[in-house]
């Protein structure tokens, strides 16, 4: 009986090591990716997927690239003036910034280029534990809407939230106090300067609301599809 127990522990630990190794490789690949303004989505996807041995690994590499290179645009989120030339219609991939919907749409876009089907953009709310029950009544939901991705791969369903994976923000100093990273974009001249983020929350690649509830006492509450 003890031998069986020890064997189970060894198998579990090996699985954890393999997962950590895969995450480390995805992070290294993302950080090392070519980052010139001239690179296209197609060239990037080719770089991120050429050494991957499965669609799952391809998606992981894509998610890590987004998490390390795309900054959350706090200006756009708060509706304040960002750049006169942009008018909030900038290209998220080109200018390396956006809000949650932009993150989710970019993940699906790059997955489509990689010929991986089963990736959807979904929306809802991220709700704290003490508000979950009453949050099912739509009028009582106090949280701001959110967007992320649902993936169906090899008969399994899971979620990916590249916004929550990332820790980089384009700061709006007029509202929330958020650490300001070196991420500046001049839309008119197409000059951009940003810091590649290496602190990725890998929990939000391949997660379920049940696991999130246990780990963070909050849940991605699916409400509707975002068009």
**pLDDT greater at residue 54 or residue 4:** 54
Contacts 24+ apart (CB under 8 A), 42-47: 42/113, 44/110, 45/110, 45/113, 45/114
| pTM of the predicted protein model | 0.77
Distance in angstroms (rounded) separating the CA atoms of residues 45 and 118: 17
Which position has the token pair 């579990």?
Answer: 12
pLDDT at site 16: 41
pLDDT higher than threshold 50 for residue 4: no
Number of domains forming the structure of the chain: 1
**pLDDT greater at residue 66 or residue 177:** 66
Which whole number is the average pLDDT over 129-158? Answer: 74
Q: How large a percentage of the chain has pLDDT more than 90?
A: 34
Containing domain of residue 16, as a range? 2-225
- CA 97 to mean position of chain CA atoms: 12
Distance in angstroms (rounded) separating the CA atoms of residues 82 and 129: 34
**pLDDT greater at residue 227 or residue 212:** 212
For the chain, report the end-to-end CA distance as a whole number of angstroms: 54
In this prediction, residue 132 has a pLDDT band, given cuts at 50, 70 and 90, of: low
12-49 pLDDT tens trace: 344 444 445 457 888 999 988 887 767 899 999 999 99
Q: What is the CATH number of the domain that holds 145?
A: 3.10.620
Distance in angstroms (rounded) separating the CA atoms of residues 127 and 218: 5
70-110 pLDDT tens trace: 888 766 666 554 444 444 456 788 878 888 999 999 999 99
Distance in angstroms (rounded) separating the CA atoms of residues 176 and 170: 11
Range from 20-24, 46-50, 197-201, 206-210 carrying the lowest mean pLDDT: 20-24
In this prediction, residue 127 has a pLDDT band, given cuts at 50, 70 and 90, of: confident
């Amino acid at each position: 009986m003890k031998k069986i127990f020890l064997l189970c522990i060894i198998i579990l630990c090996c699985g954890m090591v393999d997962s950590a190794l895969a995450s480390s490789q995805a992070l290294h690949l993302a950080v090392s990716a070519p980052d010139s303004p001239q690179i296209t989505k197609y060239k990037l996807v080719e770089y991120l997927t050429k050494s991957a041995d499965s669609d799952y690994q391809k998606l992981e590499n894509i998610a890590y690239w987004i998490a390390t290179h795309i900054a959350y645009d706090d200006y756009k989120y708060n509706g304040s003036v960002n750049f006169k030339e942009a008018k909030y219609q900038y290209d998220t991939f080109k200018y390396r910034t956006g809000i949650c919907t932009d993150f989710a749409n970019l993940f699906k876009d790059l997955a489509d280029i990689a010929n991986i089907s089963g990736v959807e953009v979904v929306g809802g709310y991220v709700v704290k534990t003490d508000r979950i029950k009453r949050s099912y009544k739509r009028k009582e939901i106090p949280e701001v809407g959110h967007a992320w991705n649902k993936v169906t791969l090899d008969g399994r369903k899971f979620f990916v939230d590249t916004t929550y994976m990332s820790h980089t923000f384009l700061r709006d100093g007029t509202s929330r106090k958020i650490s300001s990273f070196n991420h500046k974009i001049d839309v008119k001249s197409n000059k951009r300067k940003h810091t590649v983020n290496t602190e990725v929350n890998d929990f939000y690649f391949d997660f379920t609301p049940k696991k999130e509830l246990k780990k963070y006492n909050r849940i991605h509450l699916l409400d509707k599809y975002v068009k």
